[in-house]
């Protein structure tokens, strides 16, 4: 049976439209970092490179290589960790050119550096791209976090962040870092802006 994150990991990927407290375990990711406006060409190139690698891992058995512990699964959604430059933090309005980000796609537990190296090799043969050299593989653990589903345009996320901050205060919690995570459940190219689904997440700790 195919492993589907939408069904098996609903609590992580499909929260409701109200903030909830969860504990996020250690996860493996393919990652690439950058700076600047996510509406630009460079950002979409980076997204494309990540997806080509993620699909190369999933399709490995068709290439005649079956990693230890491999199972059928749905490719995970794109995620991003967002921060601002010093300059960007000083501004009272959001200047997207001052954004700093790491975008990533989660990998199943069986994925190792060796598996990633093989995937890189396959993609370089079929679809070479200079940005492949910038992709890294590693683990992250968000741990105790507050998250919720934001429905609507990315530019209206502030209203959901305000709800989250209120929830954090009322539950005797503090935001651990202003760097936040977003998980893109919808495909922005095919979804009407008012219907976009994005999981927003802050790492927190008790006061």
Strands 197-206 and 136-151, sheet pairing: antiparallel
Find the mean pLDDT for residues 79-98. 94
pLDDT at 178: 85
* pLDDT computed for residue 186 by the predictor: 97
Tell me, yes or no, if the pTM score tops 0.75: yes
DSSP characters over 108-143: -TT--HHHHHHHHHHHHHHS--GGGGG-EEEEEEEE
Per-domain boundaries in the chain: 5-206
- Residue 185 pLDDT greater than 90, yes or no: yes
Superfamily of domain 5-206: Regulatory factor, effector binding domain (3.20.80.10)
- CA pair distance 27, 141, nearest whole angstrom: 6
Helix (H, G, I), strand (E, B) or coil at 153: coil
Q: Say what the pLDDT of residue 28 is.
A: 98
- Give the chain's mean pLDDT: 97
Interval 126-173: pLDDT, tens: 999 999 999 999 999 999 999 999 999 999 999 999 999 999 999 999
pLDDT score recorded for residue 109? 97
Give the integer Cα–Cα distance in Å for 144 and 204.
6
pLDDT in tens, 24-56: 999 999 999 999 999 999 999 999 999 999 999
User: Which residue in this structure is represented by tokens 């992580």?
Assistant: 12
pLDDT recorded at residue 183: 98
Q: Which two tokens stand for residue 44?
A: 């979409």
pLDDT of 122 above 90: yes
């Amino acid at each position: 049976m195919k492993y589907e994150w939408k069904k098996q990991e609903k609590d992580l990927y499909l929260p409701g439209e109200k903030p909830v407290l969860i504990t996020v375990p250690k996860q493996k990711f393919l990652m690439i970092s950058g700076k600047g406006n996510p509406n630009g060409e460079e950002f979409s190139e980076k997204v494309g490179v990540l997806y080509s690698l993620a699909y190369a891992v999933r399709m490995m058995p068709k290439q005649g290589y079956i990693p230890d512990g491999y199972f059928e699964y749905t490719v995970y959604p794109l995620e991003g960790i967002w921060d601002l430059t010093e300059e960007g933090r000083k501004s009272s309005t959001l200047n997207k050119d001052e954004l700093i980000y790491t975008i990533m796609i989660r990998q199943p537990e069986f994925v190792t550096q060796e598996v990633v190296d093989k995937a890189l090799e396959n993609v370089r043969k079929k679809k070479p791209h200079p940005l492949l050299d910038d992709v890294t593989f590693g683990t992250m653990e968000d741990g105790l976090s507050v998250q919720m589903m934001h429905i609507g345009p990315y530019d209206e996320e502030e209203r959901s962040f305000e709800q989250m901050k209120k929830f954090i205060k009322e539950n005797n919690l503090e935001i651990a870092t202003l760097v936040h995570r977003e998980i893109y459940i919808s495909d922005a190219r095919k979804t009407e802006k008012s219907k976009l689904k994005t999981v927003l997440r802050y790492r927190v700790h008790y006061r």
